Amino acid sequence: EIDKQILSQKDGMLSVKENGERKLLVFRSFPKWNWIFVGKANLSDFETAKTVLRNNLLLATTFMVFLMIVIIGLVIKKVVTNPLQNLIQRTTDLSSGNGDLTKKLIVVGNDEIAQASKGINNFIEKVRLLISDAKNLATENSSVAQELSTTTLEVGKLVENSTAIVN
């Protein structure tokens, strides 16, 4: 019966049961020689190969996903986290200790962190100028107060002299 099907179809595949096992028959005709080649394999062999291939693909996919997560994490750390930590450290240094307003934040690139650093640098410069102006005004006020004190002493002496002359 199988032979008749192969001879009638000439090319194709058949699934048959032989000795309780499922088999796959693949056949192809070669009319030039009047031959038909037939190949036979156990379907269980294909199932085993399919299972092994599926498991290997799952393992490779899992490894690639893990590798991508690590790479993305490293890129995020380099691009976002490290500059943010640098910004936080420098602003902490600026706000603690002597409050040295001559220090500036390092600006690298033109991203949001660089823009925040520029803004902080501008603010620090304005505060430094305000403090410088306040120091200059304090020095001027001190000079004016010194002059007023001297003038007051002179006026006081002149009043005493005038009082002594009148008496």
Sheet holding 12-18, edge to edge: 12-18, 21-30, 35-42
pLDDT the model gives residue 151:
92
Q: Tell me 77's DSSP state.
A: I
Say whether pLDDT at 125 is over 70: yes
Say whether pLDDT at 69 is over 90: yes
Name the H helices within 77-111: 82-95
Determine how many CB atoms are found less than 10 A away from the CB of residue 113.
Answer: 19
| 107 closest CA partner among 83, 77, 76 | 83
pLDDT the model gives residue 97:
64
Sequence-distant (≥ 6) Cβ neighbours of residue 84 within 8 angstroms: 113
Say whether pLDDT at 24 is over 80: yes
| 116 closest CA partner among 125, 124, 107 | 107
Average confidence (pLDDT) over 93-121: 80
**pTM summary value:** 0.49
* Distance between CA atoms of residues 31 and 114, nearest Å: 77
Give the tens place of pLDDT for each residue, 141-154.
999 999 999 999 99
